[in-house]
Amino acid sequence: MKPGYLFAALCICPMLAQAEIYKAVDENGHVTYSSAPIKGGKKLNLEPLPTMKPTLPASAGFPKVDNQTQRGRDETRRKILQDELTAEEKLLEEANQNLKEAESNPEVFKRADGQTYRNVAKYEEKIKPLQEQVDLHKKNIEALKTELSRLQK
């Protein structure tokens, strides 16, 4: 099928695809919509949705920027990403320190007889969010490095 015919068919289809919609509300307040008449339902008169004009292809007068402007934009983007990477690496370092500190201080409790025991559940509860923070910063760093590698030099 030629693209022109396909485009015309797609423009006409929404007009042909309109259906009658019925709405019913039961005694409990539950709303039901249907394309077939429902007992106690009312037909809804819906206005057709507005349509959009097709966008122009990039070659049809789409504004382009010169190489110098694009290089400037790329350099700005590279600097922003590099700054974010530096900040994220500092946050990862802090998160690692917090995790190591928490791991070196296990949660304990003393029983009535004076013996000390490790509270494994409380320890894991304390460690889990700290480990999640470390993992999050690692993923962010990886994503930032990927974006930086995609920029043209």
- Chain centroid, CA 84 distance in Å: 19
Give the pTM.
Answer: 0.53
Query: Do residues 105 and 71 share a domain?
Result: yes
The answer on pLDDT for 57 being more than 80 is: no
Q: Where do we find the tokens 């928490």? A: 102
35 and 108 fall within a common domain = no
Rg of the chain in Å (alpha carbons): 31
State yes or no: pLDDT of 152 exceeds 70.
Answer: no
Averaged pLDDT, 133-152:
92
The residue segments making up the domain with residue 34 are: 3-44
How many domains are there within the chain?
2
Q: Do 39 and 84 fall into the same domain?
A: no
Which residue pairs from 74-83 have beta carbons closer than 8 angstroms and sit at least 24 positions apart in sequence? 74/151, 74/152, 77/151, 78/148, 78/151, 81/144, 81/147, 81/148, 81/151, 82/148
Per-residue pLDDT tens digits for 71-95: 898 999 999 999 999 999 999 999 9
Residue 19 within a domain: yes
Please indicate, yes or no, whether residues 33 and 73 belong to a single structural domain of this protein: no
pLDDT digits (tens, 9 = 90+) for 40-53: 888 888 888 888 87
For residue 54, is it within any domain?
Answer: no
For residues 103 and 139, state if they share a domain.
Answer: yes
**Looking at the domain assignment, is residue 55 inside a domain?**
no
